[in-house]
Structure 1
Amino acid sequence: MKHVISACMLLFVVCTMSAQGKLGPITISYGEEIKEDKEKIVRIAGEVNGKIYTLARKGKNKYFLKMFSSDTMAEIGKQEVEFAEYNGKDLTFEEIIVIGNNLYAFGSLYDRKAKENHLLGFPISADGKISNKGKILFKTKVTKKRERGAFYFKSSPDGARLLIMHAAYFDKEDEVQYEIKLFNESLDTQMSDLEKVPFKDRSDLEFNIADFDVNVYDDIFVVINESYRDRKQKKNIEKFEVHAFKKDKDYAKEIINIDFTNREVINCEILATNKDVLHLVGFYSGVRKNGKANKKLRGIYAATVDVQTNDVKNLKFNKFDYETKVKLIGERRAKKDKDIKPLYRTHSIIEKNDGGLFLLSEYQEVFVGRSQGIGPLSVQPITYINNEIIVTSLNADGSVAWTNVIPKEQKASFTVFSLGIFGFAGGNNFSVGVSVSIPIAVAGKGPEYLSAIPIYENGQLTVVFNDNKKNVGVTDIEEIKKLGNYNKAIPTAFVFDNEGNITRLDPEDLQEERLILRPGVYFQKAAGDYIIYASRRSKDKLGRLQIQN
């Protein structure tokens, strides 16, 4: 999930809310304690007409819609999320999302007889009740349940439209199918397109739907990356392109090629601005003499596209500098010019005031252990590791202004009921890189304490995260201590100046009973207004995080 965010410069003061503490200019304030703490909030859907709507989870698969007052952050209502039966079967819960001034719950179902994957949207009333009448949004043909694919959601910049993509890999047919649709706040379809990509005669083809986005003009962009090796020519063939669907051209498909040689794209994030500019940024690898890509991170590329003409204005490949490599892989390997392991996922992409970008890339590993138990009673151990964040400041032309590293080591281990939550969205050499949010199936289990919240205001980047209290004042990656128990974490902020230098902000006093932030659960209502969630043992509170000028 991308977050293009900023922080307001006003101190939030409400008599019914209490301040938890300060991190330099950052003020964190909370409402009253949430009474039912066993129902952990896993999503903050949005704020509509003075109410904040959140999704809470209890146990294996019970979900509740919890409502809070925007002014006091006090809980004012709760409804269990229950769908009416569809085709005589229960729906699988997918998400709750605010579109314009309307709130919807989304559920999916595989129709075995028709061999279709269905998605329905259900309106939710102001008091949190889900309608019995759902609207069918997708009835996508698939081959079987195991290949039913997955749905991906992305809101428009103003929140008035919702872009949904369904993607699946069909093993027997050896092809990828993806369908994309744009909906208005009444869930009427504004645009629809379905594509199929055969793998025939390209057995080593790697196909990645890298990202997709919609801009303020309701234009849609899908980034596709195909890579395979031509054995006869002994070279790596890279097809990197944007599929554009523009509203003023009745959503006719246009293809924008991003041409380059002797490099391979590892991942991509896309940002469609309100200035008819398309930014593409991510990691790339080098190609060996035998034509094979080495798959390790050589550096960061950046491309800008003029949406009006489809011209690629800038394309820069920026190799990691020596200082950054020393922080990530050590001095000995950096001197040998070794590349970096491909374990960094794009955390955030932020447009700067000067037309450039901030790219935040976080080290992440997810270990899924073997199932223990039989059938529906089996459980799986899972471990999330979220470590350092590479922060890259890019100029408007795609060149690097500076790079620095946020040092942190975070870990969360837990067990979940075995549901095959990892891997059903892809297969073989097919992958979808458009979703970075915590899966619903593991939300509320611990990963939401990890990672970070980036804030951008008046040209300055601030990143807030949980850290070990032994790291107070430490910015050297070689000296940090691991955060093993997130229940004992303290909030920390790193502030970057125009040259990339770090100022670390820690709490003035290390309160033993301080609430612990959950950086994986937050929502930006508007510029400068952050709704956050924090907890500690039996205490759970909704709050706000802001910056004082």
Structure 2
Amino acid sequence: MKKLFFAAFTLLLSLCSFSQNYQLISGDQIKVSKYSSDLDIVASDKTGNYFAEQRWSWNLRAKLYKFDKNYNDIYEKDYRKELRGSIFRGFYPIDEELVMFSTEYTRKEKTFTLYARKINKTTGEIKQDAKEIGTFPLEDKRDDFEVKFAPVSNGKKLLFAANVSNKDRVSLVTAVLDPQLKREATATIDFRFTPKQFSIQDVFYTANEKIVVLGKESEETQVGKRKKKRWVFKQYILHIYTKAGKKEKEIPITADQRFAISGKLIEHTDGTLALAGFYATDPKKKDLSGFFLSKIDTDKNELLLTSYKEINASMIGQNYTEDADDDNDDDSKKSKKEEKKKDDDDEEEEIPNDYVLKSVLINPADNSMVITAEISQLYVYQTQNRSGNMTTYTTVYSYTTKDILLIGLNAEGKVKWVNSIPKKQQEKYENPNITRSEEDYFSGKTAHPYFSSFAALINKDKLIILMNDHQSNNVNPEYGHKVKRVYNFKKKSNFYGISVDLVTGTMKRKMIYDNSSDGIMMPRSAYINGSTILIPATRVKMFGKNELKMSQLTIK
């Protein structure tokens, strides 16, 4: 593969002392498969940056790229041979090691096995034969499990969790791996629920070696005018176990007529856990009433509710109408009708509010926090095309991401300010290589959408939001203002940096990059390392392979 020629351009905008300065350095394009299902920066060290490309053939294939600090291509390694008969699960760093995980399903024995292979980071070659991490029974008709990997002990170890549920019960397997791929803690947890009654939302392994599971409990009830029976959301439950899987406590997330409608576990710098989420004051949870932050004492197995903040609907609940010339963004009337029908069908959903918690960022200067949330929706519908006596069907995946909600908290969890960034982004894919649902909280990251949503980080005394937006939205809109929907990212979007004052919540926006010039930025795939951010950008081509480049954004 050809060497990348180092190409740099710098955008130093200093309109006022409040604003941040952004320096963007990019490499030349490389060719990637048109059928890529995911593009991801997996690690970065002193010798370079590691980038993974995944795509479907008859199974999920993987390719690893390494770039040096000047974005020259060091190597490109395809693991087709090693992954034959397996499902690729990802590259993950464990301390100084880079490990490739895969799983196999043995139909005859009805077992599911996890394998790990260490990668030589200098050459990209496999350092040793595949090591079996664990084998689990799989009696259902499926041949796969949901899996999740998460860093433990500041990246020195890795948590593996597999949702090994069948049709009769919900079960979870966890293990902690050290850099030698030795299992230090293995547990199998069987819940008393069926999958219709209970779904696993998040799993944490704490500093004091407890397994904390956040689950979503549902109940069967009659809904709608026809009184059809459906399983609807009831409550969140926090389960605490020992590292061996022995149950210690089960805590429903309700207090003083406040009912959680979303939740996310977060880990503080001292290793303690907290639970952030939105709540409703109506037991039916029809409307979002406010935000809460709860500390979790995993020594005493107690949930300490520390902060509630009511959120006024006028602040975050505005319905922004689209301008008439949005129709020029190549979006057909037919697909809009399909989405409207889906919107109408969703009126009976158990949680009509669509805000999804994205991150909880901690300011190392004073341990204050910023909560970020976003309206995220995935609509799946079919279109049909008749030609003579033949009818073909196409499945369309429509991703819509809207307003960003920001909540500033002090070190004690008391709310300091609430702000919002109105936006509307939309991407559509026909029969894409989607490997995970947008609502798949357990396995975490989803491949799509590529260009929507945002990245967030704290830099000195500012929160930085990086996102693509319509070219006409070059200033931050206020509550209730109309915003232009961005649908054609190549022709009508810019890459923006929004700096948010951590004391007041006031914001300033700058354009960093014109997406029509040389590829579209992918902020969801950003790799954040202090004040330096690695961001891939891709150019989707109708014919031939797509083009991708790596960019480094430095905030000053």
Q: Which among 334, 351, 354 is matched to residue 343 of structure 1? A: 354
Partner residue, 2:79: 81
Residues 472, 484 of structure 2: 8 Å contact kept: yes
SS in 1 for 2:31: coil
Deviates more, 1:75-84 or 1:35-44: 35-44
Identity between Structure 1 and Structure 2 (%): 19
| Pairing 1:105–2:95 present | no
Distance 1:362 1:109 in 2: 35
Contact 1:534–1:540 (Cα < 8 Å) also in 2: yes
Tell me, yes or no, if the aligned pair for 1:211 and 1:434 is still in contact at 8 Å: yes
State how 1:133-282 maps to structure 2 within 5 Å.
Answer: 133-146=129-142, 148-156=144-152, 158-171=154-167, 173=168, 175-199=169-193, 206-215=197-206, 220-226=211-217, 228=219, 238=235, 240-245=237-242, 253-255=247-249, 257=251, 260-282=255-277
Change (3 A) 1:50 1:359: same
CA separation in 2, counterparts of 1:308 and 1:358?
26
Sort the Cα spacing of 1:388 and 1:211 in 2 relative to 1 into closer, same or farther, 3 A: same
State the Cα distance separating 1:434 from its structure 2 match.
Answer: 3.6
**Contact 1:106/1:121 (8 A) holds in 2:** yes
Distance in structure 2 (CA, Å) of the matches to 1:417 and 1:131: 34
Which is further off, 494-503 or 528-537?
528-537
- In structure 2, distance between residues paired with 1:541 and 1:420: 23
Give the distance between the partners of 1:28 and 1:464, measured in 2 at CA.
13
Q: Look up the match of 2:463.
A: 461
Deviations 1:393-438 (A, max 9, x none): 2334433221111111111111235787549xxxxxxx96344412
Using the TM superposition, give the Cα deviation of residue 547 of structure 1 relative to its aligned residue in structure 2, in angstroms: 1.2
1:158 CA drift (Å): 2.2
- 1:12 equivalent in structure 2: none
Q: From the superposition, tell whether residues 395 and 33 of structure 1 become closer, same or farther in structure 2 (CA, over 3 Å).
A: same
Which stretch has the larger CA shift, 536-545 or 213-222? 213-222
1:388 aligned partner: 403
Counterpart in the other structure of 2:341: none
Taking the TM superposition and a 5 Å limit, the aligned residue runs for 1:57-96 are: 57=54, 60=57, 61-69=60-68, 71-84=69-82, 90-96=85-91
The whole-number CA distance in structure 2 between the counterparts of 1:411 and 1:75 is 33
Q: Which residue does the alignment assign to 2:484?
A: 481
Distance 2:552 2:206 in 1: 28
Letter matched to residue 44 of structure 2: E
Which residue identity does 2:555 align to in structure 1? I
Q: Equivalent of 1:433, from 441, 454, 463?
A: 441
Tell me, which stretches of 5 or more residues in structure 1 are unaligned?
A: 1-14, 331-338, 424-430
Where relative contact order (Cα < 8 A, 6+ residues apart) is larger, the structure is 1
Instruction: Show structure 2 runs of 5+ residues with no match.
Output: 15-19, 223-232, 322-349, 386-391, 541-545
Cross-structure match for 1:317: 308
SS at match of 2:255: coil
Tell me how large the CA RMSD over aligned residues is: 3.5
Which amino acid letter does the alignment assign opposite residue 212 of structure 1? V
What SS does the aligned partner of 1:324 have?
A: helix
Pair 1:493 & 2:497 matched: yes
Structure 1 residues 378 and 125: CA distance shift in structure 2, 3 A: farther
Alpha-carbon displacement from aligned partner over 1:495-522 (angstroms, at most 9, x marks no partner): 2221222222224x85851543111212
Match for 1:363: what amino acid?
A: I
CA shift for structure 1 position 328: 5.7
In structure 2, relative to structure 1, the CA distance for the partners of 1:141 and 1:274 (3 Å cut) is same
Q: 2: distance between equivalents of 1:162 and 1:372?
A: 46
Instruction: Using the TM superposition, give the Cα deviation of residue 297 of structure 1 relative to its aligned residue in structure 2, in angstroms.
Output: 2.3
Matched, 1:448 2:443: no
Say if 2:146 and 2:162, in contact at 8 Å, map to a contact too: yes
Aligned-partner Cα distance in 2 for 1:386–1:326: 14
Match of 2:380 in 1: 368
Equivalent position SS for 1:366: strand
Whether the aligned pair in 2 keeps the contact of 1:226 and 1:240 (CA below 8 Å) is yes
Aligned to 1:401: 416
How far apart are residue 340 of structure 1 and its match? 8.3
> Counterpart in 2 of 1:11?
none
Q: Contact 1:31 / 1:541 at 8 angstroms: preserved in 2?
A: yes
Distance 1:329 1:419 in 2: 29
Q: Could you tell me which of 527, 532, 539 is aligned with 1:529?
A: 532
1:67: Cα distance to partner? Answer: 0.9
Residues 325, 263 of structure 1: alpha-carbon distance in 2 compared, 3 angstrom cutoff: same
Farther off after superposition, 384-393 or 220-229: 220-229
2:228 alignment partner in structure 1: none
Shift of 1:281: 0.3
Q: Does 1:410 align with 2:425?
A: yes
Shift of 1:184: 1.0
Q: Do the aligned partners of residues 394 and 206 (structure 1) sit closer, same or farther apart at CA in structure 2, a change above 3 Å counting?
A: farther
Secondary structure of the residue aligned to 1:531 is strand
TM-superposed deviation, 1:308: 4.2
Number of residues of Structure 1 aligned to a counterpart in Structure 2? 488
Q: Deviations for 1:67-99, whole angstroms, at most 9, x for unmatched residues?
A: 110x201111101122536xxx70011111111
Aligned counterpart, 2:345: none
**Cα distance 1:493–1:327, how it changes in 2: closer, same or farther (>3 A)?**
farther
8 Å CA contact 1:19–1:27 kept in 2: the answer is no
Aligned equivalents of 1:218, 1:245: Cα separation in 2 = 7
Q: How far apart, in 2, do the equivalents of 1:155 and 1:54 lie?
A: 18
For 2:483, the aligned partner's letter is I
Tell me how far 1:147 sits from its aligned partner.
7.0
Preserved contact between residue 23 and residue 493 of structure 1 (Cα < 8 Å) = no
Matched, 1:286 2:281: yes
1:54 shift after superposition:
0.9
- SS, match of residue 414 in structure 1: strand
Distance 1:528 1:207 in 2: 40
Structure 2 CA distance for partners of 1:325 and 1:471, relative to 1, 3 Å: closer
TM-superposed CA distance for 1:329, in Å, is: 8.1
Aligned equivalents of 2:441, 2:107: Cα separation in 1: 27
Instruction: Look up the match of 1:120.
Output: 115
1:239 and 1:47 map into 2 onto residues whose CA distance is 36
Letter in 1 for 2:504: E
The answer to whether residue 498 in structure 2 is matched with residue 502 in structure 1 is: no
Aligned AA for 1:207?
A: F
Tell me which of 470, 475, 499 is aligned to 2:472.
Answer: 470
